[in-house]
Structure 1
Amino acid sequence: MLFARKTGPATLIPGVAILFAVYFLYLWRNGDRLAVATPRPAVDDWQPRGQAAFWRNVPVHYPPSSIRPLATGTPVRYPPIQATAFPAQPQDARRQAVKQVFAKCWRSYRELAWGADELTPVSGGRRDPFGGWAATLVDSLDTLWIMDMKAEFAEAVAAAEAINFTHSTLDQVNVFETNIRFLGGFLSAFDLSGDARLLRKAVEVGDMLYKAFDTTTRMPITRWDIRAAARGERQAAPASVLLAEIGSLSLEFTRLSMLTGDARWFDAAQRIADAMAAQQDSTALPGLWPLTADAAQTRPVFDAGSLFTLGAMADSAYEYLPKMAALLGGRLPGYQAMYEKAADAAARHNLFRPLTPTDADILVAGIVHVGEDGSTELEPQAQHLACFLGGMFALGGRLFGREKDMDVAQRLVDGCIWSYKALPHGVMPETFYLAPCPSPGGDCRWDEAAWKREVVRRAGKDKKETDDDDDDANNDDDPTGTAAADAIIAEERLPPGITAITDRRYVLRPEAAESVFVLYRATGRAELLEAAWAMFEAIDAATTTPLANSAVHDVTEAADADGKPQAADAMESFWMAETLKYFYLVFSEPGLVSLDEFVFNTEAHPFRRLVR
């Protein structure tokens, strides 16, 4: 009615024409930002229909006594996460190169494995490790939208609408993986496109996963007999669950409640967070939680155990702490408190600076073992999975004004960049060991003899074994065992600084690209663009096949005629959902899926944040 107030009837139509012309010019000039707009669905659009309502109608044996409502109130005005200035040089060619790799993988999946969980990228077959629910298709929905592949997106949404979540090819469903890939994938694709069909599929998956909470403790069964549940049988929560699997449901469940107004998903996940918060200070390493929890007790146990890691099997439980604060606009301050305690404890106990030939000032996250007497021992294992930590510290540092966390974030990201560069193909392995500097914060100059001693020790060879295995290892000519170390280094193909490689695979993981992306958006550091490009080129060169990209068995060897590592004929859905998406976004305009507007789940699915 703006023009009606300012003009008479004779000028109304031309005025409206001018308004529409200006509006479409704005659309054209701001496509990246408007591509992520989120229409609010009509109130009934999310209700499941027909077969999709199956899980809602399965009998409930242990209903909650009450449902905690979503938090209300004015959101906190958090500081901006994204930097105010970025390098001026265009990155269009690099972004298009990433998109071409994704498009090649998508075409092969569509032609050879449509509707399957995964394409086998060497043989051209199909696999269903996630229930036969088209994991790659659902996981890739938001990537298709972000990369402006709208025709492919429309086709994929139509196919996703037909997925039957009442039947699984598996006897046992991993609730965590189903949550982050399927529920997260549908929620994100809805948040980006506004297509109500996607929200209905999210509710369908949410209803299914909610049934895993139907236990006497209202704690979920993380490895779940879905067929028994569908038959309406009674269930019991397990006595031993992995921290990541029980502690990483909050972001997706909360976003589903935010979009629908139905608080039961938020309530279910918040019960877990409340138990974690209540026991965070009573663990053997206060601030951190042990690797496993007991969900079978009336009071779930999160503070019994002696192994503390931020890597595999624990990682996303920590990752979701600052992300929940961002998602909810700070309406639940407990998430910031939990993050700050965990970040401080991890920096004090788990993070270490290793010896490197370049004396690089980097950090790596290790594993801490706590003895019965309270003593701690650092196991200096590096994991590709733990490379997410740089992004987590950057996010927490910016959100909560913790500059010390930004320093940690940069050193952690630099540690992952160093690890990529250290290997012959420029690709980091799954797990390996390093030699910690002799004293934290002290002298950390390269000491080749100390590195070699640690190589021998890590190989499990004491002096007697070395004498038995190598006549030259401990004689008058080699009193320090250098010959034994050199033999191990040659046999195991160990780069300088690395003392052992315990898992030589690269399985197309995204964590290093993720943290480079987050830190780049938070700082605008131009060298991170170069680091990301070097990573992308190295990964693609080592993993490309005629059809797509494949995990490889050993990043230290050249096993095929082209000098590449031997392919494993596996391409998990996170390659297209996470790794390629993060590389694409780091080379995109900063307004495309801004971290000030969105928060990513652990499968790289962006959800719209509640912001003031």
Structure 2
Amino acid sequence: MLVLRRKHFFPLGLGLIVLFLVYNLTVQDSQSQFWSGSLAGLRHGGAKGPNHQIDPKVLDDETYFWRQVPTHYPVQAMKPLPSGTPQKLPKIQASFGKEDSRDRQIRLGRRGAVKNAFKRCWKAYSEHAWLQDEVTPITGSSRNTFGGWGATLVDSLDTLWIMGMEDEFEQAVSAAANISFEKSALTEINAFETTIRYLGGFLAAYDLSGDERLLLKAREVGDMLYVAFDTPNRMPITRWDIGRAARGEPQEASRWALVAEIGSLCMEFTRLSFITGNPKWFDATERIMLALKDQQMKTKLPGMWPISVNPQDMKFTEDNGFGLGAMADSVFEYLPKMVALSGGSLPHYEKMYKAAMKTAQKYNLFRPMTPDNADILISGNVRVDKEKGRLNARLEHQGQHLVCFAGGMFAVGGKLLNIPDHLQTARKLVDGCIWTYKNMPLGIMPEVFWMAPCESEEDCPWDEKKWQEAVLEKAGESKDDLSKAAGVIAQRRLPEGFTEIPDGRYILRPEAIESVFIMYRATGDPELLESAWAMFESIQRATQTDLANSAVADVTVASPIDVQQTDSMESFWLGETLKYFYLIFSEPELISLDEFVFNTEAHPFRRLVP
């Protein structure tokens, strides 16, 4: 797995250097009044109370290291924060009725089991890898893969708060307050991962607790990351040589980047600007998003952006690969979430989302042929090639565990923007992920798989011969000799419906339970609770170690006894996966989707509301 939360198939690319921009901007009076008024009306959780005030000293420390690095390419015209009153947007959450005592007892028992799993893992991290990025869940050692700044600690802050682990939260905040972001254990850091894990983690924990120490750390990380934008065209360097940046050496953006890495910074940067009233972070990412907007209908698959882009030349149309999955995912995920975060005050995000999903629904989604004729959808990748002078969009019938987030995205967009067919699409995508979990031997979805597509989405009867032919074709065998099919299926351990499983790992990913959780909150369907519990039990059986939980090498093996654990537990297991499992078995009012919006690392930010 790459040092990327969601893009784990691409080798690490170019490490480039960056510097910082010192800019102390005074916000226009009208905007200051709007944002301070809006923020004063937001209710912070915990003992800080509803009207917690921000100490200006937290925001105005000009002596901080990253504010002292010289600026080579200062902003000439700062984009202001939006003004006006946030809109009253449609509710995302369903109306939940009264819960009977038996259902409540079952739900609380399940929530308790999830919390116990988290506590075991937190204990392992605290005892064996404190202030390191990750604990190794089998050997009890540690590793640093995300800057060496305590990724698991920061990623877990809001989970600790949500689970009511007050003593552990205070201990973690006290430790996090002393993390230095002036240097890194790594030569090259990933700006995207640093943004979603560290900046997102601090912002969410601050939004929940109101603890100013967390806002200080968010500001420090924000100031550090802002240096990555000090390039001739203000496009960021995504794979960043932090040492050269700290020395003040000039830098420029790469000619190659993953679209998710450049286009998935806006939620965190905008939220930091909203809280502080300083528009510099909003300005930094809004430039990217407006450039993406301007080129959205000029790509080879108009409406969607390709997986790789060219930030240095600001060319976002040249690649021919398109998908909602790895390396592109969160650029699309953030479109409806920015509508929620900003209270609808940035209308171009709604337009971008609608255009992107219109294309994705047409080209990227397919119904797979299954033995039970399940009415489900899978999201695949599209390659656009020239054929006799015309562009031809070719769908690859590949599924990914990572792309399970798309069900939640369609659910948020469908409810928030009142698009009923998006909610229907969301349910079929969520059911596709649930189906894939249920139909694997361990009850866990693999990292990457292929399936045979239906000829029609409306009627798709199971055809054993067609499935065997598709299996042979993926294996590079002649589909005319069906006698070989049984051997290929047995050798590759393919359940019915699957044609290839090129990556059978489960790396403790959150995306499936993420979308099941969002769909449950959006519909109130109790069947989703049963699906979530089945997923949790299956994951626990296969991944639990003496210390914590471990990623596994292959979920196609016959039973948990045959599982090979890989001694890896990324921070998102505590920051995302267990958080979503805990929340789906909690009261719907806990982190309501009508009050909060999650970033791609499951960190809840407070929405602007009227």
Aligned to 1:610: 608
Asked if 1:445 is matched to 2:443, the reply is: no
Number of aligned positions between the proteins: 560
1:74-223 superposed matches below 5 A: 74-86=85-97, 88=99, 89-90=103-104, 91-223=107-239
Match of 1:256 among 244, 264, 272: 272
Q: List runs of 5+ in structure 2 lacking aligned partners.
A: 1-42
CA drift of 1:72 comes to: 1.1
Q: Secondary structure at the match of 2:56?
A: coil
Match of 1:349 among 328, 351, 363: 363
AA of the residue aligned to 1:589? E
Match of 2:569 in 1: 571
Aligned 8 A contact 2:46 2:209 in 1: no
Residue 63 of structure 1 aligns with an amino acid whose one-letter code is P
Q: Which whole-Å CA distance do the structure 2 matches of 1:217 and 1:32 have between them?
A: 38
Residue in 1 that maps onto 2:341: 327
Secondary structure of 1:65's counterpart equals: coil
Distance 1:393 1:518 in 2: 10
* Equivalent residue number for residue 588 of structure 2: 590
After TM superposition, give the deviation of residue 58 of structure 1 in Å.
Answer: 0.4
| SS class of match (1:208) | helix
Deviation at 1:176, TM superposition (A): 0.3
Identity %: 57
Secondary structure of 2:325's partner? Answer: coil
Q: Which residue of structure 2 lines up, in the alignment, with residue 383 of structure 1?
A: 400
Distance 1:34 1:168, change over 3 A: closer
Give the drift of 1:38.
6.1
Indicate the residue corresponding to 1:527 in structure 2.
527
Corresponding residue of 1:600: 598
Q: Check the 8 A contact 1:35/1:192 in 2, yes or no.
A: no
Specify which of 48, 55, 67 is matched with residue 56 of structure 1.
67
1:462 Cα deviation from its structure 2 partner: 3.1
Which structure 2 residues correspond to residues 311-460 of structure 1 after superposition, within 5 A?
311-372=325-386, 373-439=390-456, 441-460=457-476
List aligned pairs for 1:542-553, cutoff 5 A: 542-553=542-553
Alpha-carbon distance in 2 for matches of 1:369, 1:199: 43
CA contact (8 A) 1:352 1:365 kept: yes
Confirm or deny: 8 A CA contact 1:38 1:194 kept in the other structure.
Answer: no
Range with bigger deviation, 370-379 or 220-229 = 370-379
Q: Is the CA contact 1:86–1:525 (under 8 Å) kept in the aligned structure 2?
A: no
Whether contact under 8 Å (2:44, 2:207) holds in the other structure is: no
Aligned residue type for 2:471: V
TM-score, normalised via structure 1 length: 0.90
Could you say if the C-alpha distance between residues 191 and 168 of structure 1 is closer, same or farther in structure 2, counting changes exceeding 3 Å? same
1:47 and 2:63 aligned = no
Distance (Å, rounded) in 2 between the aligned partners of 1:360 and 1:165? 50
- CA–CA distance in 1 between the matches of 2:484 and 2:50? 62
Task: State the secondary structure of the residue aligned to 1:375.
Answer: strand
Partner of residue 268, structure 1: 284
Q: Do the aligned partners of 2:255 and 2:312 also contact (CA within 8 Å) in 1?
A: yes
Q: Alpha-carbon deviation of 1:169?
A: 1.0
Shift, 1:557, TM fit: 1.4
What is the identity, as a one-letter code, of the residue corresponding to 1:496? E
Rounded to whole Å, the distance in 1 between the matches of 2:151 and 2:440 is 31
Does the 8 A contact of 1:542 with 1:564 survive in 2? no
1:580 counterpart = 2:594: no
Instruction: Give the Cα–Cα distance (whole angstroms) in 1 for the partners of residues 140 and 97 of structure 2.
Output: 41
Q: 1:38, 1:193 within 8 Å by CA — same for their partners in 2?
A: no
Aligned-pair CA distance for 1:39: 4.6
> For each residue in 1:415-440, what CA deviation from the matched residue of structure 2 results, as whole angstroms up to 9, or x when unmatched?
0000001110000000000011013x
| 1:443 to partner: Cα distance | 2.7
Offset at 1:45?
4.3
- Code of the aligned partner of 2:587: E
The structure-2 alpha-carbon separation of the partners of 1:132 and 1:46, relative to structure 1 and needing over 3 Å to count, comes to same
Output the CA distance in 1 between the equivalents of 2:161 and 2:251.
39
Question: What displacement does 1:46 show?
Answer: 2.6
Cα pair distance change 1:35/1:585, threshold 3 Å:
farther
Return the alpha-carbon distance in structure 2 between the equivalents of residues 41 and 436 of structure 1.
Answer: 56
Q: In structure 1, what is the Cα distance between the partners aligned to 2:464 and 2:606?
A: 49
DSSP-derived class of the 1:571 partner: coil
Q: What amino acid does structure 2 have at the position aligned with 1:312?
A: A
Q: CA deviation at 1:344?
A: 1.1
Residue 292 (1) aligns with residue 304 (2): no
What is the one-letter code of the residue matched to 1:585? L
Change (3 A) 1:80 1:513: same
8 Å Cα contact 2:73/2:232 also seen in 1: yes
Taking the aligned partners of 1:435 and 1:345, their CA distance within structure 2 comes to: 22
* C-alpha RMSD of the superposition: 1.6
Structure 1 residue matching 2:449: 3-state secondary structure: strand
